[in-house]
Structure 1
Amino acid sequence: MATSTIILAYLTAWSVYDSAHYVANIPADKITHINYVFANIGTDGRIALGDSWADTDKPFDGDTWDQPLRGNFNQLIKLKVKYPHVRTLIFIGGWSGSTNFSDAALTDQSLSTFATSCVELVTKYNFDGVDLDP
């Protein structure tokens, strides 16, 4: 079985605040994947946005006040149009976002709820998958 090299960029939601690292600055011609950090697991066992302002609301150049999606998620969609080989994954959990992971994985029903919510988020925001960091 042949394997291909993965060259991954790690983009944190909070980069837009402190270090001004933006999706537009990612050298997408040199990478294959972007892990976007972080989404959380809510008390209801469903995936939840980690920072809705950075994720879906922050306006960037060219955005309008009335468009349905802005933020890093929209920027990632635009990047994937320009570089269709790039795959995006939403990182779930992390140091502070995995508190409810055990409850989400506790029963078949709670795991099904969590998995369904992951598929809904991936579909809604055009991600290619999830990466769990429990």
Structure 2
Amino acid sequence: MMRLHQLVAVLSMVAIDPLFMAAIALPTSSSSLNSRSSGTPELNERQSDGIGWHGYRSVGYYPNWVIYNSDPFTVKNINPKDFTHIIYAFANVDMNSGQVYLADEWADIDYPYPGDDPDNEQGNNLYGNLKQLFLLKQQNRNLKIQLGIGGATYSSNFLGIVNQAWRETFTTSAIELVTNLGFDGLCLDYE
């Protein structure tokens, strides 16, 4: 089980509108940027390391609800070489107890993608977007998948954070979800 200091190392605070798969490139140092005469930063050189530009992270959100669109952009539409990190949005948190849970289990772990056959497969298999994200990681071993908790819809449920017992339940249940479902980390999205 992940220790608390490891959890703190993977937590990140973001406030990005996840309407769709939005990618952002973040420089790891200011030496990676050069200023044009207009004052706009530009890349000195794009050095591909197979997962993005050297010195940059390409981070995208994948919201679980897009499978309900009439023409969904599914996980299978994502090129795993385009991203270093994908944040799977969103898990929710119980306002009263602090328990973190999957907000849409059908989309997350049950939705049968083409080729899945849950009625004829044995065992307790994972399906849905999370299975597809795991398969995506097999195509890019450096790809990190993080569980996003909160978002605009669920941010009001973080109000219990002032309570010590709530925080302990939140931390324990978040670590359990990350560990049990094979995520590489967490992203807290409080808006």
Q: TM-score, normalised by structure 1?
A: 0.90
In structure 2, C-alpha distance between the alignment counterparts of 1:115 and 1:14, rounded to whole Å: 25
1:54 maps onto 2:54 in alignment: no
CA contact (8 A) 1:91 1:133 kept: yes
In structure 2, C-alpha distance between the alignment counterparts of 1:9 and 1:119, rounded to whole Å: 22
Larger CA Rg, structure 1 vs 2: 2
The one of 63, 67, 90 equivalent to 1:16 is 67
Per-residue CA distance 1:11-42 (angstroms, 9 max, x = gap): 11111111411111111112101011111112
Q: What is the root-mean-square deviation of aligned Cα atoms in Å?
A: 1.6
The one of 36, 41, 47 equivalent to 2:93 is 41
**Counterpart for residue 184 of structure 2:** 128
Aligned length: 132
**Counterpart for residue 33 of structure 2:** none
Per-residue CA distance 1:63-118 (angstroms, 9 max, x = gap): 23145210001111111122111111111111221222121x12222211101111
The one of 108, 131, 141 equivalent to 1:74 is 131
Unaligned runs of 5+ in 1: none
Match of 1:20, SS state, is coil
**Counterpart for residue 77 of structure 2:** 25
In structure 2, C-alpha distance between the alignment counterparts of 1:111 and 1:63, rounded to whole Å: 38
Q: TM-score, normalised by structure 2?
A: 0.65
**Counterpart for residue 167 of structure 2:** 111
Q: Between the two proteins, what is the percent identity of the paired residues?
A: 38
